[in-house]
Structure 1
Amino acid sequence: MRLSDISIKNPVFAWMLMFGLMIFGLISFSRMGVSQMPDVDFPTVTVSVSLDGAAPEVMETQVVDPIESSLMTVEGIESIKSSSKTGSASITVEFDLDRNIDLAVQDVQAKISGIQRMLPDDVDPPSISKTNPDDQPILWLALTYDKEDPEFLMRYARDYLKDRFTTVEGVGDIFLGGYTDPVMRVHVRPKDLLRYNISVNDVVDAIRNEHSELPGGYIQTDKKTFNVRTMGEAKTEEEFRNIVISRRAGVTVADPTNMVKIRQVADASMGLDKIERMSRFNGKTALGLGIRKQRGTNAVSVARAVKEQITVIQKTLPPGMNLQVNFDSTKFIEQSVGELNHHLILAVIFTSLVCWMFLGSWSATFNVLLSIPTSLLGAFIGLYFLGYTLNTFTLLGLTLAIGIVVDDAIMVLENIFRYNENGRGRIESAILGAREISFAAMAATAAVIAIFLPVAFMKGIIGKFFMQFGVTISIAVFLSLVESLTITPMRCAGFVHHGERKTKLGKGFEALMENTRIGYDRWLRVSLQHPWKVLIGSLVFVAVSFISIKFLNKEMSPAQDQSIFMARLIMPVGTSLQYTDQQTKKRKRGSCPVRKSNRCMQPWGALVAVFLIPT
């Protein structure tokens, strides 16, 4: 007994199979994440190292060279590139495409841990990261304060706002753009240092030794045990100024009458660390908050939840402080997904019209259309369990699959129609027609899968992106085969009727098809009379097609208009931050008042200034 026979004789089973695919497909669809691109890790690992105040030459010889020598022994390296500048260096390691990037990161971490003892003592712990488009912030928020108190702005964002946003469901990390740590700034007075015979190193040693809380151990008695805490850290500015400089030139001063405090040789006050970057929002000093989502989550839903949290936070902000969205990448994602969904609907409508024009029966057209949601919604089940998201490539595959998934249903339906036209009953026609066409339907489906499934095994970064495209189409086409061999024959046996066209539109289409058949017959006879000319012409056409590939422009993805204007101002090497700030303000006056622009964000360092104007 064939699979189609089981469905025809057990229609309840077939209907439950169809509704089961649809219902569980809708559940899977609701749980899938939404993103612009697939979750793909690029085969690169970046190691960032900083050493405050070190010249580029020092970073190159004492930091970069030892790290590069250590990383050269890691398996699967294609190339290593590095760049050094004042106080920081970056080493980019590119691996083979077949290398597991997570294991590569672990190998790099192990090598960095082993080489750290050879690096300078003051170097900050190296940070290791891998490249993934899904790790970029989906939202940038701008925090401004009318009272121009940057220290309070930084503290408020670090201690309050960051925690409020990390509790939002789907948020993975918060990146503070333009953040500078609040610190205790100590400005020594050279004349006072000379008068007390104290060096700068003595001041530094006093702060390092006295402004620290070391483990105090514990005191144990017969009945109790007490933890001992050494209250060494200064809690206020006044306590910090009263720290005693007890050593001079490495020698401890034993005379209590000759003790010198920091207040006697230096001015100490709370402030910000060395400012190396600044940012403004609509002309005001601002702090940027970049919202990164967790991998596999719905970017649009996360952005909406963050915006709702912003509405709640706005009510509790201090007077004069304002928080608003500066850049929202999910708008473009939402528009792209919306357009693809719109194209899906249009594809279904046009497919139904084409089927009706050729089949001439609304019941047959409805039968074919039911195969589309069954296959597409069923495909969401496979995509969900594979961990895929609704992105450009999966939705593109589903859009393309609409015209393919109906092929098997039309093939089975047309063969059943043929028996129905010969006077057979609906059930008998469904059984005989489905049996006869089953192998042909399987062969056609196998041919389509053989075309698209190899796309999933393409090499390179493009292959990783197109993997989800190939898998999506393959799943949808396979489910269309299952649908055409089980559910379609059952529906044909139940309610599909065949009749002659009686409307003017139907008769006109029949006449058009008859004229097309006559014209095709004429050209076919001419082709059969000149086989060599047709063959040579085909070969020439194929050859010209391959040659034209060389003249086509090539790029990773086509240019897309996201309504963002970005300008970069590069200053000469060595330009101070203050001068860059002045020049940026001048350019800003002519850049921000762009017609229909509502935001202008300006993050910059000493060398580069960027204007960002979403409209």
Structure 2
Amino acid sequence: LLGVKGVGAVNRVGGVTRQVRVELDPVKLLALNLTAAEISGQLRQIQQEAPGGRTDLGSLEQSVRTVATVKTAAELGQMEISLRDGRSIRLDQVAEVRDAIAERRSAALHDGRPVVGFEIVRSLGASDVAVARGVAAALEDFKKTHAEIQTNLVFNTVDTVYQAYQGSMEMIFEGAFLAVVVVVFFLRNTRATIVAATALPLAIIPTFALMVAFGFTINLVTLLALSLVVGVLVDDAIVEIENIMRHLEMGKTPYQAAMEAADEIGMAVIATTFTLVAVFLPTAFMDGVAGRFFVQFGWTAAVAVLFSLLVARLLTPMMCAYFLRPRVKHATPGWIEIYLKWAQWCLHHRKTTLLATAVFFFGSFFL
């Protein structure tokens, strides 16, 4: 499992640890004038695993480690122990050497039965989903060669991550769909709706490319940023299209209407977009632990909004110039007439309107 790409550690839970036990005979030690400390020191010098420096391997530098050579209790029993008078004896002549297990300090139970569990931890920067797939493939290969061993998945955090990812993607698609529905409802023009709807993918797809350049991944934070701004991405395009439609109804050609309308509200659209950038981008420079999470949120949201500005200022007028047609005259909906009456009343009673606005503004501070 450690050979799977992205696996940082494999921790065992339960089971036993092999231990070679050396039980010294005190009578023989006394006869040979030996102490347990002397034997322990000689064993430590022979069997100790320790760093051994570095060596050049081709064009790379590789660390070297000295590894103990004795692997079984029988081999350890054949090791020579030096005496003080210069003679040497085998370890099994003064001790009983046998394979055993270390003291149990943990236990794992599954359905009431003792098992050996393994906790797999991904390395820093690795994908949870990719590591889970790699581990699953490695376990399948292990089952083919060790059919007598049964493996079961007990706990998995990847499913939660994948469900959250699926939920975020569904939220983005639902938001995009509802944004298009709102555009249809208000513009009441199929061609204008198509032009406005193209602003969504044309703004989101380049954002993914810049996320790769920044080293960001598709995670809950970046998907949250996209889901929050998905409705904002069509705002600039809607403003451009609505003004172009107004010029079309004045009798101008689509090309002339697109040029003049885009030039007329260009600065307003740019100011609106940079206002949104000023809201989202500062979150990318937060300090502390929260800042490490929100750096991706702030940049993703700001970049998506900036790409929507480019689409609205460059592609939307071009598409309107060659695709839009004047709207067919139709009766004004009743709700628009009600809105126009309210707007006229506010314009004719400016002081009352400003006073009510101030009351709501300062009253919101007490909520």
Q: Shorter-normalised TM-score: what interval?
A: 0.7 to 0.9
1:309 equivalent to 2:144? Answer no
Residues 347-397 of structure 1 show CA distances to partners (whole Å, capped at 9, x for unaligned) of 111111110111000111111000000001111111110000111111111
Q: 2:167 aligns with which of 330, 335, 339?
A: 339
The match for 1:266 is 95
Aligned length: 347
Residues of 2 paired with 1:538 and 1:207: CA distance? 81
Instruction: Point out which structure has higher relative CO (alpha carbons under 8 A, 6+ apart).
Output: 1
Per-residue deviation at 1:479?
Answer: 0.8
Tell me if structure 2 keeps the 8 A contact 1:210–1:243. no
1:286 equivalent to 2:122? Answer no
Equivalent positions of 1:95-494 (< 5 A) are: 162=1, 165-166=2-3, 168=4, 170-178=5-13, 182-190=18-26, 192-194=28-30, 197-208=33-44, 234=70, 236-247=72-83, 252-254=84-86, 261-282=90-111, 283-293=113-123, 295=125, 297-317=126-146, 319=148, 321-494=149-322
Identity rate, percent: 25
Per-residue deviation at 1:427?
Answer: 1.1
Tell me if structure 2 keeps the 8 A contact 1:202–1:245. no
The match for 2:54 is none
Letter in 1 for 2:255: I
Residues of 1 paired with 2:219 and 2:284: CA distance? 16
Letter in 1 for 2:138: Q
Tell me if structure 1 keeps the 8 A contact 2:108–2:116. yes
- Secondary structure of the equivalent of 2:265? helix
Tell me if structure 1 keeps the 8 A contact 2:132–2:158. yes
Per-residue deviation at 1:527?
Answer: 6.4
Cα distance change of structure 1 residues 271 and 470 upon mapping to structure 2, 3 Å threshold: same
Per-residue deviation at 1:274?
Answer: 4.6
Per-residue deviation at 1:541?
Answer: 1.8
Residues of 2 paired with 1:305 and 1:514: CA distance? 62
Letter in 1 for 2:137: E
Cα distance change of structure 1 residues 293 and 326 upon mapping to structure 2, 3 Å threshold: farther
Tell me if structure 1 keeps the 8 A contact 2:74–2:98. no
Tell me if structure 1 keeps the 8 A contact 2:284–2:294. yes
Residues of 2 paired with 1:184 and 1:272: CA distance? 8
Cα distance change of structure 1 residues 265 and 391 upon mapping to structure 2, 3 Å threshold: same
Tell me if structure 1 keeps the 8 A contact 2:258–2:318. yes
- Secondary structure of the equivalent of 2:231? helix
Letter in 1 for 2:78: N
Letter in 2 for 1:317: H
Tell me if structure 1 keeps the 8 A contact 2:122–2:128. no
Residues 446-491 of structure 1 show CA distances to partners (whole Å, capped at 9, x for unaligned) of 1111111111122222122111111111111111111111111111
Per-residue deviation at 1:520?
Answer: 4.8
Tell me if structure 1 keeps the 8 A contact 2:226–2:300. yes
Unaligned runs of 5+ in 2: 50-67
Cα distance change of structure 1 residues 278 and 190 upon mapping to structure 2, 3 Å threshold: farther
Residues of 2 paired with 1:212 and 1:514: CA distance? 90
Residues of 1 paired with 2:191 and 2:299: CA distance? 32
Tell me if structure 2 keeps the 8 A contact 1:172–1:294. no
Cα distance change of structure 1 residues 299 and 238 upon mapping to structure 2, 3 Å threshold: closer
Residues of 2 paired with 1:380 and 1:423: CA distance? 41
Unaligned runs of 5+ in 1: 1-161, 214-231, 546-615
The match for 1:539 is 362
Residues 17-40 of structure 1 show CA distances to partners (whole Å, capped at 9, x for unaligned) of xxxxxxxxxxxxxxxxxxxxxxxx
Residues of 1 paired with 2:33 and 2:10: CA distance? 45
Tell me if structure 2 keeps the 8 A contact 1:206–1:244. no
Residues of 2 paired with 1:212 and 1:308: CA distance? 36
Residues of 1 paired with 2:175 and 2:333: CA distance? 24
Q: Which moved more, 1:510-519 or 1:462-471?
A: 510-519
Residues 215-234 of structure 1 show CA distances to partners (whole Å, capped at 9, x for unaligned) of xxxxxxxxxxxxxxxxx954
Return the TM-score normalized by structure 1.
Answer: 0.52
Q: Give the superposed CA RMSD.
A: 2.8
Letter in 1 for 2:8: D
Per-residue deviation at 1:325?
Answer: 2.6
Cα distance change of structure 1 residues 233 and 346 upon mapping to structure 2, 3 Å threshold: closer
- Secondary structure of the equivalent of 1:323? coil
Tell me if structure 2 keeps the 8 A contact 1:368–1:406. yes
Equivalent positions of 1:572-591 (< 5 A) are: none
Equivalent positions of 1:515-534 (< 5 A) are: 515-522=338-345, 528-529=351-352, 531-532=354-355, 534=357
Residues of 1 paired with 2:277 and 2:6: CA distance? 37
Residues of 1 paired with 2:254 and 2:310: CA distance? 21
Letter in 1 for 2:35: S
Residues 249-295 of structure 1 show CA distances to partners (whole Å, capped at 9, x for unaligned) of xxx134x6xx6543343221223445433333442220314141451
Letter in 2 for 1:242: Q
